[in-house]
Structure 1
Amino acid sequence: MQSDPLETGTKKREALTFLVLAVLIWPFIAVGIVSGWGFLVWMYYLFTGPPGPV
């Protein structure tokens, strides 16, 4: 049984897509989420003051 050339091209494209997502896109998304959360907390503390006893 021989592998179909179309299937081989599809597997290569799928592997390339996975690498692009895993190496390039998801790290930027993760940094954006963490940065966004930090900015949100910073703005919250700007208006309400730091936590803890006064």
Structure 2
Amino acid sequence: MSEVPPQHVTEQEPRSRRRQELLTFLVLAFGIWPLLAVGVVGGYGFIIWMLQIVYGPPGPLGP
């Protein structure tokens, strides 16, 4: 079984990786997740709205 040689890490690589991870986190935290949350809530509201158009509002059918 062959062994994988250890990676030689320079001083610049950890900084670059940390910066990339921070940028990825910021894009996810303040970009993609809020847009996804708004899309999910908006989609759910749209589905409820369409169901109420087809089946009527919730509650008793009337007197």
Q: TM-score, normalised by structure 2?
A: 0.76
User: Which of structures 1 and 2 has the larger relative contact order (alpha carbons within 8 angstroms, sep 6+)?
Assistant: 1
Larger Rg: 2
4+ residue runs of structure 1 moved beyond 4 angstroms?
A: none
Looking at secondary structure, tell me which structure has more helix per residue. Answer: 1
Q: Which runs of 5+ in 1 are unaligned?
A: none
CA RMSD of aligned residues (A): 1.2
Q: TM-score, normalised by structure 1?
A: 0.87
Aligned length: 52
Q: Which runs of 5+ in 2 are unaligned?
A: 1-9
| Percent of aligned pairs with the same amino acid | 48
